[in-house]
Amino acid sequence: MSTGFDEEFIPPFPWCVVILTNPFRTKITTTKGYIDTGSDGSIIPAEIGRRLNLFKYPLMRVETRGIGGNSED
């Protein structure tokens, strides 16, 4: 399945499969991405950033709160 609703949230949160790469496309990963049509940007979890070695090419780094309200790096 490549799209759906995450029933762990109320109301259920829409998601789709996303493909992420580093700037030179030397590393790639596929993951579930949550869809927020009111968002002004995209956030990539630190674990995926490390996997793709994105910290080598920082644009900006901020602390955020996840959908459940937990602090994330």
Residue 55's SS3 state is helix
- pLDDT confidence of residue 24: 86
Q: Are 35 and 5 in contact (CB under 8 A)?
A: no
Structural domain total, the chain:
1
Question: Which DSSP state fits 56?
Answer: G
pLDDT > 80? residue 68: no
pLDDT > 90? residue 69: no
Residue range 9-24, pLDDT digits in tens: 899 999 999 999 988 8
Q: Are 28 and 43 in contact (CB under 8 A)?
A: no
Q: What is the mean pLDDT of the chain?
A: 82
The percentage of the chain sitting over the pLDDT mark of 90, rounded to a whole number, equals 40
Domain of 41 in residue numbering reads as 3-72
Tokens 């490390």: give the residue: 50
